[in-house]
Amino acid sequence: MTSAGTVSDLRRVPAFTAVVAERVWRAWWEADGVPLAALRARLDESLGPNAVPTTFVAHEGARFRGCVALIASDLDQRPQLTPWAAALWVEPEVRAQGIGAALLAHATEAAFAAGHAQVYLAAEAPLAPYYAARGWALSESDVDGLEIFVRRKG
């Protein structure tokens, strides 16, 4: 695949739950004062039986490389859009090796396999070229300071 080694559903590798929670919390939730326990509770939802939410982990054996979540909604301003690829994280020392792209591909394929015709993603404007180069189309600009991308099946 890539230097990601393997991409697994978190349900199959639950030992990574704590590290996924810590990385996602530090990257997006900690600065807003959200407790780690709140993020962990949301992450635990992806351990249930439904296709959404699901969290995928890139790892090489027991070494964590990155993660991405497939969630029902990532933007309060667009509750009608679902599902979303969110919380894409790749460890700094293994970035630019295709791991993020592999995680996104895995999440979108899982959404398509579950019957969804499209997947959405919200990102800051400077990241637009990254997503465009990987097949994501810009759907809307500057929604609460974020760009909304869509990836359609087929």
Tens of pLDDT, residue by residue over 49-99, are 999 999 999 999 999 999 999 999 998 899 999 999 999 999 999 999 999
pLDDT greater than 90 at residue 9: yes
The DSSP call for residue 32 is: G
Q: Structure tokens of 147?
A: 């760009």
| Distance in angstroms (rounded) separating the CA atoms of residues 115 and 147 | 25
Q: Where are the domains of the chain?
A: 6-152
Place of tokens 């810590």: 22
Residue 69 has phi, psi (to 5 degrees) of: -115, 150
Q: What is the pTM of this model?
A: 0.93
- What pLDDT was estimated at residue 1? 42
Name the fold adopted by 6-152. Answer: Aminopeptidase (3.40.630)
Which residues partner with 68 through β-bridges?
Answer: 56
* Per-residue pLDDT reduced to its tens digit, 139-154: 999 998 999 999 999 8
pLDDT for 5: 84
Q: How much is the pLDDT for 4?
A: 56
For 96, phi then psi, to 5°, come to 65, 30
